[in-house]
Amino acid sequence: MAPSVDTPDPPPPPTLTRTPHTLPAPFTNSSLSVLTQGAEALVYRTTFLTPNTPCVLKYRPPKPYRHPTLDKRLTKARLLAEARVLVRVRKEGIKVPAVLGGDWENGWLVLEWVGGSTVRRVLDGWVESVQRRLADAEGGREQVEQPDLEAQVGGEEEILDLMRRIGRAVGKLHGIGVVHGDLTTSNLMLRPTPKANVAEKTGQLLDGDIVLIDFGLASQTTTQQQDEDRAVDLYVLERAFAATHPSAEPLFQEVLKEYGESYNGAKKVLKRLADVRLRGRKRSMLG
């Protein structure tokens, strides 16, 4: 019998490397920290004009699959639309990042850096604290999988106040005819105020300003579309609560309660929300 010959292992496939986008001036040689990378835009943390001015840089790189003229036109239109909405909303007294600068031709927009935590992280911290307290009450169990937050919410004035602030902020935005378009707990920031109380049971800062961020999909609606678009905004936020904080869903009812009192016409939007929910459930069942 002929001796067996070991077949050598095939060479490993070549490692694919992707050359990062070269940003236009004045950010070509800036120190950048990537925050998010979406299909349309790259978002960085960097500084602007001075080393002590932190900012968010939103850069829309050229899309090779689009005709260059069309690509430039779309990039300019979208950045200008976002900047205009932010300027208008801020002028109305709603807390959003300030527009610090932009270059529509080169595809970038610079926004004020908003310190603090996302509402998503704050809710995570609160749910964890409730789990710990319930575990301690049940004899030192390490974790409670599904805490009864329905029973806990009533005694948590701080978290209820946070939900009311969210409802007021969203209501004020909708009250001036602006729809966010991507209203999730990750696009709501809790920015601490100078008087904020740091000694919270959750380890999170529940006292502070609600700041809405990421207006890349925002729109200023017409009268005919307003109620539907506002209701969809609320539905997206409701689904964000259900998906990322299922045990904290009872808190969302406080958001809606405050929203309903925030501007004339809010109660009509809440009625429309019921129709949007029904359509969403039908889609889920049909796939």
Greatest alpha-carbon pair distance for the chain in Å reads: 92
Query: What's the rounded Cα separation, in Å, for the pair 276 and 118?
Result: 26
Please name the helix (run of DSSP H) or strand (run of DSSP E) that holds residue 227, with its range, or none: helix 226-244
Query: What's the rounded Cα separation, in Å, for the pair 172 and 170?
Result: 5
Three-state SS at 117? strand
| Lookup result for tokens 């109305």 | 92
| Lookup result for tokens 């004035």 | 157
Query: What's the rounded Cα separation, in Å, for the pair 228 and 125?
Result: 33
Catalytic annotation, residues:
182
Query: Quick check: 236 and 120 in contact, CB under 8 A?
Result: no
For the chain, the distance separating the N- and C-terminal CA atoms, rounded to the nearest angstrom, is 60
- Which amino acid does the sequence have at 63? K
DSSP label of 142: S
Instruction: List, in sequence order, every residue forming a beta bridge with 117; answer none if it has no partner.
Output: 190
Query: What's the rounded Cα separation, in Å, for the pair 100 and 80?
Result: 13
DSSP per-residue letters across 187-226? GEEEEPPTT-----TTSS--SSEEEE---TT-EE--TTTH
Task: Name, in order, each residue with C-beta under 8 angstroms of 230's C-beta and a sequence gap of 6 or more.
Answer: 174, 179, 221, 269, 272
